[in-house]
A = this chain, B = another copy of it.
């Protein structure tokens, strides 16, 4: 599942299911899963909706997902604020980081600079960005990425320790990790990172995560989407 110019989100494993959530919730009444219903004869989807809409969150901890992610460092910096996930990331102390760096699209840059939404973080601070300057910036960014890489490689070759040579690595460079969380915490991640005020780049990753969740936990994911529609009406 490609994300941005060099990144991806890839499913490693899931555990639990919409049904396992019902089974866990039914512990409280000493019953088990009864069965999903039909439009005419509704079944346990009613309980699932009740749990979700009334924030009975613990049953949603009985399912989860492990994924692998390749993303720029500035995206990982935002991602790692989610302290309920488990992470194992590539380390520039152990291996030189591969020379892959995020370069945004010209159209995307212009679009965000001109946005008049409430998302002030994506807006220009100085003059209004025009296409010429945006293009110049993208070329400058690429040139700077190349210069930083040259500095990094030279340092490594000269014998500067890896953990110091990396000082010049820009936050636009890609890294890679595995991340694991239970479903409750993945949904909390989606709530914050698919929101309009999240940075566009992490939103693309959150959308990819959402797509994996919708496949493995379709009923729970629908409830998540319905709640968001209500919240925005």
Asked whether any CB of chain B lies closer than 8 Å to the CB of A137, the reply is: yes
Pick from B23, B128, B155: contact of A159, CB under 8 Å: B128
Q: Is the CB of B199 within 8 A of A61?
A: no
CB distance from A188 to the nearest CB of B (A): 10
By beta carbon, the residue of chain B nearest A68 is: B27
Q: Is the CB of B74 within 8 A of A166?
A: yes
Asked whether any CB of chain B lies closer than 8 Å to the CB of A38, the reply is: no
Instruction: Give a binary string over A131-164; 1 marks a CB under 8 Å from any B CB, 0 the rest.
Output: 0011011001100110110010011111111111
Asked whether any CB of chain B lies closer than 8 Å to the CB of A102, the reply is: yes
Pick from B59, B154, B167, B176: contact of A30, CB under 8 Å: B176
CB distance from A103 to the nearest CB of B (A): 8
- Ordered by A's residue number, 30 sampled pairs between the chains whose C-beta atoms are within 8 Å are A15-B15, A27-B90, A27-B178, A28-B88, A58-B86, A61-B86, A62-B86, A62-B178, A62-B180, A64-B64, A72-B167, A73-B171, A80-B80, A81-B87, A83-B83, A86-B182, A104-B167, A109-B161, A109-B164, A113-B161, A124-B159, A124-B160, A125-B161, A125-B162, A127-B159, A128-B159, A133-B159, A137-B155, A140-B151, A141-B168
Asked whether any CB of chain B lies closer than 8 Å to the CB of A222, the reply is: no
CB distance from A91 to the nearest CB of B (A): 4
> Which A residues are within 8 Å of any B CB, using their own CB?
12-16, 20, 23-25, 27-30, 58-59, 61-62, 64, 66, 72-74, 76-77, 80-81, 83-84, 86-96, 98, 101-102, 104, 109, 112-113, 121-130, 133-134, 136-137, 140-141, 144-145, 147-148, 151, 154-172, 176-178, 180, 182, 199
CB distance from A130 to the nearest CB of B (A): 8
In the complex this chain forms, how many copies of it are found? 4
With A and B bound together, what is the CA distance between A67 and B155 in angstroms? 34
With A and B bound together, what is the CA distance between A129 and B154 in angstroms? 11
Q: Is the CB of A88 within 8 A of B62?
A: yes
Pick from B20, B23, B154, B172: contact of A140, CB under 8 Å: B154
Pick from B16, B93, B141: contact of A13, CB under 8 Å: B16
